[in-house]
């Protein structure tokens, strides 16, 4: 049962009266229809560059908790698959997932917000090679090499490359000598930097953000080619989540750019904010998915 | 000159410390070498142990990674920083069932999908594994295959079937570098130990050897110095050297005693010879002297009016009289028919010398315990006492202010001691002090102590003189005849 507490955390000052009223209304409504409402709001994360940043996640969690006036629990798993499965099964309330699983399981989730990266709700897939490979500038040149994908559920790290190769007339299984999944974009960067793979496919947002946090790692890789833009991995809510809760979470995320602490957190995330977008943003991914399946 | 000559000649003062030093250095080197050999074997063994336990841990993860074709997982497992923080140069390679590299911690060198044969250093090892098949259990491969590395090959088994192989290689240079590091550390430790042991050994050796060399030095000086000029050693602990010093001291004491005895014997023999000589000469002089005196007397009586005869006669009489005086002084009669010594005789002597002492404003300490008469010839004894006391008083010329007289007797002896704190008698005089015509005074005749000595000899006694910085002492000891002897003497 959620009740407004007398001692509000400092962040509460920034709550607009509207948001306050909304969260109050949501609390009452949620209490009426959802017996699990006093449990924490569980948010699943896949954007794996965050994995090793427990202190940051703690602060973000605290921030969201104060905005939602409800305990928030971040849930991390080793693969996209597990997070996708868990939100489909209703074990997670909200998740930050890739556009590819979103379009695959659109009937099981609702689009909440889309991160704004470099001012747009868009990102790309980067083809990266080791920095000492100074010539490669297309995926064709990596034929017969070792290639690192990030995750089978990743658009930028897998789907797009399969699509691209199929368009070029290749099967991604035979095209490379060997392929493997590193299960995170940052791992792909590491694998390519170490020379374990001759090339890899990563999320442009992750690569650019890693460049800020771990320049010594990213310097050892080079972007050989950039894909067209796609809808940025979105925050989604499970289908059954109360609309008030959904709205509150959406507002909390959208409102981050309006508060100083929210902006600090966004800076660390290397994001400009969040925006509401229509599911149509992900249609190109759907199209690629269908093409690849044919 | 051979080495043993040099060693033989070297003083113990250096030989002993040197021996201790050589022993310490030799021991340190042997212990160091043994420890290093042990450390090398141990380092190698512990490296192999380490590789084996690492392999056991890695194989458990390698199996699912191979099964799931999970190169990334295998890579993170093999390159885990925490696995092998110390062995930065080590190589961990996972081969799949085609003997191609599935993953390694050095993908830049052993890249995925290539064979070990592609690497020149590991080519032979690759060939060996391919020819041999994956071993059933972890083996350390023989050195010839990869000269530069210590290599362990462990199978990745799935239900007894090898699905891959794990190769763990440590550069030998690292093993050797580690070994040299141990050598350096060991060397430092040995140097530190020696830095303590050497001075201690040198000091101890020196301490043991220095009494020996002192004894040797002292013994070598025995010829050129008299025993009393050689100092005794300080008493030492009762080890062999302590006993040696003790024996040396005993020997020195015996030698000193012997030398003193010899000097005494020589002195008394010389005095005895002198006594016989002077007695003979005096006798030979005395015989014609009597006749000559009678002749001169007769001549003077016959010619009373001849002034020339009278004058010459008187001259001759005075000269011959002086000769007789001298001769009779030389001819001391020890055993004379005489009365016994009486307490009053001693008092007379005291009275006689007191007036001389008063003039010098010196003190006389008098301690004579003679209650009754003693069977000692009184005249001779009085002469002895007077001579000794007057000598003592004369010695006060230079700074002395007291004379001590001490006389006591038992049943068998009469002992007299005369001390003064005046001029000391130099050692060269002391040996010849009782010989006639030996004097330290310009006006002295040198007859006083000679007479005293003859008298004491005549009485069957002993006389000795001591002189050192503070005082001079004469001691006389006269035997008292027993009643029986006295009776015989009286009858004679």
User: Using CB atoms and an 8 Å cut-off, which of residues 162-191 of chain A contact chain B?
Assistant: 177-178, 180-183, 187, 191
Residues B478 and B361 in one domain: yes
Query: What CA–CA distance (Å, rounded) separates B82 from B174?
Result: 18
> Helix, strand, coil shares of chain A as percentages rounded to 5?
50, 20, 30
Let me know: does A125 contact A156? Beta carbons within 8 Å: yes
In a domain, B301, yes or no: yes
The predicted pLDDT at position B68 comes to 85
Residue A181: its chain B contacts at CB < 8 A? 70, 72
The predicted pLDDT at position B197 comes to 84
Query: What CA–CA distance (Å, rounded) separates B434 from B268?
Result: 9
For chain B, the domain total comes to 3
- The confidence band for A52, taking pLDDT boundaries of 50, 70 and 90, is low
Residues B316 and B428 in one domain: no
Residue A84 CA, chain-centre distance (Å), reads 12
Q: Minimal Cα distance from B68: which residue of A? A: A180
Q: Give the residue from A159, A116, A149, A63 showing the smallest Cα distance to A272.
A: A116
Q: Which helix H or strand E contains B363, and what residues bound it?
A: strand B363-368
Rounded to a whole number, what is the distance in Å from the CA of A145 to chain B's nearest CA?
A: 9
Residue A198: its chain B contacts at CB < 8 A? 111
Give me the DSSP letters along B48-116. HHHHHHHHHHHHHHHHHHHHTT-HHHHHHHHH-TTTTSS-TT-EEEEEETTSBEEEES-TTTS-TT-BG
Looking only at the bridges linking them, the beta strands covering B101-104 and B91-96 are: antiparallel
Residue A180: its chain B contacts at CB < 8 A? 69-72, 112
In a domain, B209, yes or no: no
Residue A89, SS3 per DSSP: coil
The predicted pLDDT at position B404 comes to 92
Give residues with Cβ within 8 angstroms of B454, minimum separation 6. Answer: B275, B332, B334
Residues B20 and B134 in one domain: yes
Residues B361 and B318 in one domain: no
Q: Give the residue from B467, B485, B483, B486 showing the smallest Cα distance to B475.
A: B467
Q: Is A20 exposed, middle or buried (0-12, 13-18, 19+ CB in 10 A)?
A: middle
Rounded to a whole number, what is the distance in Å from the CA of A144 to chain B's nearest CA?
A: 10
Decide if B110 touches A, using CB distance below 8 A.
Answer: no
Residue B68: its chain A contacts at CB < 8 A? none
- The answer to whether the Cβ–Cβ distance between B72 and A178 falls below 8 Å is no
Using one digit for the tens of pLDDT, what is the confidence trace for B356-371?
887 777 888 999 888 8
Q: Minimal Cα distance from A182: which residue of B? A: B72
SS3 letters for B375-400? EEEHHHHHHHHHHHHHHHHHHHHCCC
The predicted pLDDT at position A1 comes to 34
Rounded to a whole number, what is the distance in Å from the CA of A50 to chain B's nearest CA?
A: 18
Counting one residue from chain A and one from chain B, the pairs whose CB atoms sit within 8 A come to 43
Cα dihedral across residues A214, A219, A224, A225: positive or negative: positive
Q: Minimal Cα distance from B110: which residue of A? A: A196
Q: Would you mind telling me the total number of residues written for chain B in this entry?
A: 492
pLDDT at B436 over 80: no
Residues B11 and B89 in one domain: yes
Query: What CA–CA distance (Å, rounded) separates B182 from B43?
Result: 10
Rounded to a whole number, what is the distance in Å from the CA of A151 to chain B's nearest CA?
A: 11
Q: Which of B144, B178, B212 is the last residue of a domain?
A: B178
The predicted pLDDT at position B486 comes to 65
Residues B10 and B155 in one domain: yes
Decide if B108 touches A, using CB distance below 8 A.
Answer: yes
Q: What is the mean pLDDT of residues B27-50?
A: 84
* Tokens (6 digits) for B99: 């003997």
In a domain, B235, yes or no: no
Partners of A94 in beta bridges:
A43, A237
Write phi, then psi, for B247 (nearest 5 degrees).
Answer: -60, -40
CATH of the domain at B378: 3.30.565.10
Percent of chain A with pLDDT over 70: 85
Q: Minimal Cα distance from A185: which residue of B? A: B72
Neighbouring C-beta atoms of residue B204, cutoff 10 Å:
13
Using one digit for the tens of pLDDT, what is the confidence trace for B72-104?
889 988 887 554 445 567 889 999 988 899 999
Using one digit for the tens of pLDDT, what is the confidence trace for A142-173?
999 999 999 888 999 999 999 999 999 998 88
Domains, chain A, with CATH or none? 10-121+231-281 (3.40.190.10), 125-227 (3.40.190.10)
Decide if B69 touches A, using CB distance below 8 A.
Answer: yes
Residues B365 and B290 in one domain: no
User: Using CB atoms and an 8 Å cut-off, which of residues 139-158 of chain A contact chain B?
Assistant: 146, 148
Decide if A197 touches B, using CB distance below 8 A.
Answer: yes
For the ranges A74-83, A124-133, B202-211, the maximum mean pLDDT occurs at: A124-133
The parent domain of residue B64 ranges over: 3-178
The predicted pLDDT at position A18 comes to 45
Percent of chain B with pLDDT over 90: 9
Give residues with Cβ within 8 angstroms of B479, minimum separation 6. Answer: B412, B413, B459, B460, B461
Q: Give the residue from B51, B276, B261 showing the smallest Cα distance to B175.
A: B51
Cα dihedral across residues B60, B63, B66, B68: positive or negative: negative
Query: What CA–CA distance (Å, rounded) separates B476 from B384?
Result: 9
Please tell me which residue, A26 or B264, carries the higher pLDDT value: B264
CATH of the domain at B135: 3.30.450.20
**Cβ-nearest to A146 among B76, B108, B113:** B113
In a domain, B188, yes or no: no
For the ranges A78-82, B101-105, B427-431, the maximum mean pLDDT occurs at: B101-105
Neighbouring C-beta atoms of residue B375, cutoff 10 Å:
15
Residues B394 and B453 in one domain: yes
The predicted pLDDT at position B266 comes to 84
In a domain, B230, yes or no: no
Query: What CA–CA distance (Å, rounded) separates B459 from A230?
Result: 151
Q: Which of B304, B330, B356 is the last residue of a domain?
A: B330
In a domain, B195, yes or no: no
- The confidence band for B416, taking pLDDT boundaries of 50, 70 and 90, is very high
In a domain, B233, yes or no: no
Give residues with Cβ within 8 angstroms of B438, minimum separation 6. Answer: B429, B432, B446, B449, B450
Q: Would you mind telling me the total number of residues written for chain A in this entry?
A: 294
Rounded to a whole number, what is the distance in Å from the CA of B197 to chain A's nearest CA?
A: 54
Residues B310 and B356 in one domain: no
- The confidence band for B241, taking pLDDT boundaries of 50, 70 and 90, is confident
Q: Which of B330, B348, B377 is the last residue of a domain?
A: B330
**Cβ-nearest to B72 among A180, A195, A198:** A180
pLDDT at A129 over 90: yes
Residues B67 and B170 in one domain: yes
Residue B122 CA, chain-centre distance (Å), reads 72
Residues B429 and B458 in one domain: yes
Residues B349 and B291 in one domain: no
In a domain, B220, yes or no: no
């Amino acid at each position: 049962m959620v009740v407004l507490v007398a001692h509000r955390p400092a962040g509460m000052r920034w709550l607009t009266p509207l948001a306050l009223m909304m969260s109050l209304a949501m609390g009452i409504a949620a209490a009426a229809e959802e017996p699990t409402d006093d449990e924490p709001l569980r948010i699943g994360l896949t954007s794996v560059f965050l994995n090793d940043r427990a202190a940051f996640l703690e602060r973000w969690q605290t921030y969201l908790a104060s905005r939602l006036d409800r305990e928030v629990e971040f849930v991390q798993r080793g693969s996209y698959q597990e997070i996708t499965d868990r939100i489909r099964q209703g074990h997670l309330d909200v998740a930050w997932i890739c556009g590819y699983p979103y379009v695959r399981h659109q009937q099981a989730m609702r689009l909440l917000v889309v991160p704004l990266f470099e001012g747009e709700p868009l990102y790309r897939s980067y083809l990266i090679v080791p920095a000492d490979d100074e010539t490669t500038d297309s995926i064709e040149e990596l034929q017969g090499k070792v290639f690192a994908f990030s995750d089978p559920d990743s658009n930028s790290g897998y789907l797009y490359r399969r699509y691209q190769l199929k368009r070029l007339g290749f099967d991604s299984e035979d095209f490379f000598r060997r392929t493997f999944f590193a299960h995170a974009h940052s791992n792909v960067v590491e694998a390519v930097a170490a020379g374990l793979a001759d090339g890899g496919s990563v999320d442009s947002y992750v690569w650019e953000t890693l460049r800020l946090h771990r320049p010594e790692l990213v310097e050892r890789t080079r972007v050989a080619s950039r894909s067209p833009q796609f809808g940025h991995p979105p925050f989604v809510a499970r289908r059954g989540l109360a609309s008030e809760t959904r709205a509150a979470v959406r507002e909390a995320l959208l409102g981050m750019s309006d508060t100083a602490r929210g902006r600090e957190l966004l800076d660390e995330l290397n994001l400009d904010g969040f925006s509401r977008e229509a599911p149509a943003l992900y249609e190109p991914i759907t199209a690629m998915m269908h093409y690849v399946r044919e | 000159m051979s080495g043993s000559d040099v060693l033989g000649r070297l003083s113990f003062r250096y030989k002993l410390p040197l021996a201790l030093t050589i022993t310490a250095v030799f021991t340190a080197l042997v212990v160091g070498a043994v420890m290093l050999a042990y450390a090398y074997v141990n380092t190698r063994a512990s490296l192999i142990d380490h590789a084996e336990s690492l392999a056991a841990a890695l194989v458990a993860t390698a199996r699912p990674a191979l099964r799931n074709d999970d190169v990334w997982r295998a890579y993170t497992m093999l390159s885990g920083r925490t696995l092998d923080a110390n062995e930065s140069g080590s190589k961990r390679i996972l081969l799949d069932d085609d003997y191609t590299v599935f993953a390694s911690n050095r993908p830049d060198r052993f890249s995925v999908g290539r064979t070990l044969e592609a690497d020149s250093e590991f080519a032979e090892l690759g060939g060996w594994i391919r020819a041999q098949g994956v071993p059933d259990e972890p083996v350390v491969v023989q050195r010839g295959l990869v000269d530069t590395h210590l290599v362990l090959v462990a199978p990745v088994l799935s239900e007894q079937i090898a699905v891959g192989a794990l190769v763990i290689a440590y550069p030998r240079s690292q093993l050797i570098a580690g070994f040299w590091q141990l050598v350096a550390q060991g060397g430092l430790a040995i140097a530190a130990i020696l830095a303590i042991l050497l001075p201690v050994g040198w000091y101890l050796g020196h301490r043991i050897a220095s009494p020996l060399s002192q004894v040797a030095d002292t013994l070598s000086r025995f010829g050129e110095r008299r025993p009393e000029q050689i100092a005794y050693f300080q008493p030492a602990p009762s080890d062999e050297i302590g006993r040696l010093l003790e024996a040396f001291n005993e020997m020195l004491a015996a030698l000193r005693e012997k030398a003193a005895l010899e000097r005494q014997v020589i002195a008394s023999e010389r005095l005895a010879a002198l006594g016989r000589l002077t007695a003979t000469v005096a006798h030979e002089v005395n015989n014609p002297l009597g006749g000559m005196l009678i002749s001169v007397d007769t001549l003077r009586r016959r010619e009373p009016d001849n002034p020339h005869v009278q004058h010459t006669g008187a001259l001759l009489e005075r000269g011959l009289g002086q000769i007789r005086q001298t001769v009779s002084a030389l001819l001391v009669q020890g055993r004379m028919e005489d009365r016994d010594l009486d307490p009053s005789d001693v008092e007379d002597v005291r009275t006689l010398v007191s007036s001389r002492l008063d003039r010098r404003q010196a003190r006389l300490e008098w301690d004579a315990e003679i209650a009754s008469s003693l069977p000692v010839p009184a005249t001779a004894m009085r002469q002895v006492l007077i001579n000794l006391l007057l000598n003592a008083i004369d010695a006060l010329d230079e700074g002395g202010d007291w004379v001590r007289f001490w006389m006591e007797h038992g049943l068998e002896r009469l002992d007299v001691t005369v001390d003064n704190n005046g001029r000391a008698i130099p050692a060269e005089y002391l040996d010849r002090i009782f010989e006639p015509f030996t004097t330290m005074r310009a006006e002295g005749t040198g007859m006083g102590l000679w007479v005293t000595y003859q008298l004491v000899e005549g009485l069957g006694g002993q006389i000795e003189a001591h002189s050192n910085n503070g005082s001079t002492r004469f001691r006389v000891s006269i035997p008292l005849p027993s009643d029986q002897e006295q009776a015989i003497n009286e009858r004679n």
